[in-house]
């Protein structure tokens, strides 16, 4: 799957809830995981591959064998504050610290439609919050100062020209 690159306007679209849990959804999740691993990254939202559905995949395991799939994720509790340097597959080469909740509890569904809750802290917490932002049409650089955003935008446009 092709990962959209910032400032692509499609990254600002808001994802729709998933209501059908079928084989097509399982195939999409599998394709997203394959894309994330190949990139390589630790998280990917469906909106980053131009699928406007509330689907997140992540895998922080060393062996890349413990994927977490969150469908229709919703943060239901937060506590603490953390600043961890983030990167994004849609904004390659850019790493910045963003303020996030240190601990979160998320309700979601798995790819079979079964509801569950997950508690996360540290990098997993940051990753999930980052990907949920994508589902809401927000890219992490939008948390940064206007000056940093302008510099990143110029760099991304230059990279896009070089790829052509």
Q: Is residue 1 part of a domain?
A: no
Q: What is the dihedral of CA 37, 39, 45, 48, to 10 degrees?
A: -150
Q: Is residue 2 part of a domain?
A: no
- Residue-wise pLDDT for 5-63, tens only, equals 999 999 999 999 999 999 999 999 999 999 999 999 999 999 999 999 999 999 999 99
Question: Please, are residues 82 and 29 in contact by the beta-carbon 8 Å criterion?
Answer: no
Q: In the chain, how many domains are there?
A: 1
Prediction pTM value: 0.95
Q: Is residue 105 part of a domain?
A: yes
pLDDT of residue 159: 84
Q: What is the dihedral of CA 98, 102, 108, 110, to 10 degrees?
A: 90
128-141 mean pLDDT? 98
Q: Please list the active-site residues.
A: 131
Beta bridge partners of 115: 109
Class of residue 123 by CB neighbours under 10 A (exposed 0-12, middle 13-18, buried 19+): middle
pLDDT at 164 over 80: no
Q: Is residue 112 part of a domain?
A: yes
Q: Is residue 132 part of a domain?
A: yes
Q: Residue 60 sits in a domain of what CATH number?
A: 3.90.45.10
Residue ranges making up the domain that contains 119:
9-163
Please name which of 92, 130, 90 lies closest in space to residue 5, comparing C-alpha atoms.
Answer: 90
């Amino acid at each position: 799957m092709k990962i959209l690159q910032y400032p692509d306007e499609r990254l600002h679209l808001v994802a729709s809830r998933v209501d059908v849990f079928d084989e097509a959804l399982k195939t999409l999740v599998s394709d997203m995981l394959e894309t994330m691993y190949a990139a390589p990254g630790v998280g990917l939202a469906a909106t980053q591959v131009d699928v406007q559905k509330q689907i997140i995949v992540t895998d922080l395991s060393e062996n890349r064998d413990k994927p977490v799939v969150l469908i229709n994720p919703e943060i239901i509790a937060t506590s603490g504050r953390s600043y961890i340097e983030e990167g994004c597959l849609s904004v390659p080469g850019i790493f910045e610290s963003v303020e996030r909740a240190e601990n979160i509890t998320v309700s979601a569904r798995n790819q079979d439609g079964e509801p569950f809750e997950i508690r996360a802290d540290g990098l997993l917490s940051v990753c999930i919050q980052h990907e949920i932002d994508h589902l809401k049409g927000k890219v992490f650089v939008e948390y940064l100062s206007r000056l940093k955003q302008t510099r990143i935008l110029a760099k991304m446009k230059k990279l896009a020209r070089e790829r052509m």
